[in-house]
Structures are given as C-alpha cells and as structure tokens.
C-alpha cells in the first residue's frame, strides 16, 4: 500500500520547529510594541537592531537546516576567478565552501563576529533582511537584487514586519523587482501584532526543499 504524502508537520515536530520562530518574533516585536523601547530603537539602536534581526534569523535558519548538509552564514560570495566578491550578504545559505572567516576564531568560544567568504559554486541562496516595518519595495530594497545578481540566482527578501493589507502588494512588487520569495516575521494591525507561524513553517519547508534538490543532483545515477 502506498504511503500517503504528509500535508504538514505533526504536532510535536511543529512545536520543535516553532521554537526558533518564537525567539525571533519575541526578540524583535517587543522593541516595536513597547513605546519606550521603540523610541530608543529609533534614536540610537536602529543599526544594531537590524544586525540582531539578521543574527536571530541565521540562528533560526540553522535550526531549520539541521541534518540537511546546508549551512547559513553572514558574509560575501567569492567570484569563480577569486578576483572579486559580492556586496555583503545578510544571509548566505550554502553547502560548505568557506574559504576564510574574518574574526570568527579570534576569541575562543565567543567570537566578536563571523564574516565568511563563500565560494560562488557552493551558494544556494541569499536572503536579504530588512529589520523594519516594510511598507514598500523602494529603490534601495530593489538595488540589493541588482548588486547580487551576478553572484547568485536565487534571492529571497525577509522583513521583520509589514502592515495589515500590505502583504499582497509587497509580495507582487518584490517578485517584479527580482526577489524569488517574500517572507515576514509578523504583521501589525489596528488591534496589535499578528504572528506568522504558518509562514515560518512554509519558510522552513522551502529551505529543506533546496537541500533535497541538492542531494538529488549529487546522488550517483
């Protein structure tokens, strides 16, 4: 008897997969929902909060990729000739290929930063992060695709949040600008914030699909 295809994760698997989402969502949303924290964020912490968003997302992606053979790193993509590199990439999903790491091992057990140089042939995906409420795909957001396109084919856009009613327009416009997929952590409404757990689970499945394609290509015929 043929086994029926699973429609989604079971209750236990779902709970495990959402652990990293909960950390990401809570770690970012409270800096927007609390008026005092949000004011500090606007004044002095906007750049740092953006870095934290990328870092929390990397940690979450690494959890989602466990056992797949793929990795997630902050860094740059080395061209095939080794002469040039891409602009900084918020998140690179790759299969090995680390040529060097800046400052990753200077402090044993607690590196200050971990900026990686990844061979182009090992890159599967780049995710551009926007630690902000995204209202539109403006020229600055669209420019990321043009700069990265010579180094990678697949580029996704991941925003911290968007307003209720803006999602469809953002998805449509991001695709027109060259992003393959658009994702977000939560959305804001007139009555508060709404989480996007189902979106996170779909995001994880999409990442694991990349790994499945990689294994099929590398399997002996």
Token readout for 169 is 């327009």
Length of the chain equals 221
C-alpha count within 13 angstroms, C-beta hemisphere, residue 46:
6
| DSSP H or E stretch at residue 194 | strand 192-195
Q: What are the phi and psi torsion angles at 66 (to 5°)?
A: -55, 130
**How many H helices and E strands in the chain?**
6, 8
Tokens matching residue 128: 């551009």
- Is the dihedral angle over the CA atoms 123, 176, 128, 140 positive or is it negative? positive
**Distance (Å, whole) CA 211 – CA 179:** 20
Average pLDDT, the chain: 85
Higher pLDDT, 218 or 92: 92
pLDDT at 177: 93
- 174 by Cβ neighbours in 10 Å (0-12 / 13-18 / 19+) ranks as buried
Average pLDDT over residues 62-76: 94
Domain residue ranges in the chain: 14-218
- Residue 103: what pLDDT? 78
pLDDT band at 36 (very low <50, low <70, confident <90, very high): confident
């Amino acid at each position: 008897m043929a086994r029926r295809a699973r429609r989604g994760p079971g209750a236990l698997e779902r709970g495990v997969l959402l652990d990293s989402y909960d950390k990401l969502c809570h770690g970012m949303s409270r800096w927007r929902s609390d008026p005092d924290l949000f004011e500090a964020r606007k004044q002095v912490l906007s750049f740092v909060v953006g870095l934290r968003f990328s870092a929390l997302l990397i940690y979450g992606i690494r959890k989602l990729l466990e056992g797949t053979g793929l990795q997630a790193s902050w860094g740059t993509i080395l061209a095939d000739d080794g002469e040039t590199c891409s602009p900084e990439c918020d998140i690179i999903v790759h299969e090995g290929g680390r040529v060097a790491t800046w400052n990753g091992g200077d402090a044993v057990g607690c590196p200050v930063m971990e900026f990686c140089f990844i061979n182009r042939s090992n890159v599967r995906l780049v995710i551009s992060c926007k630690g902000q409420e995204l209202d539109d795909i403006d020229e600055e957001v669209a420019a990321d695709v043009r700069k990265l396109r010579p180094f990678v084919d697949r580029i996704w856009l991941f925003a911290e949040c968007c307003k209720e009613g803006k999602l469809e327009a953002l998805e449509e416009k991001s695709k027109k600008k060259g992003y393959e997929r658009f994702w977000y952590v939560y959305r804001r409404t007139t009555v508060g914030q709404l989480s996007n757990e189902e979106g996170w689970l779909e995001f994880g499945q999409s990442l694991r699909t990349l790994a499945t394609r990689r294994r099929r290509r590398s399997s002996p015929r």
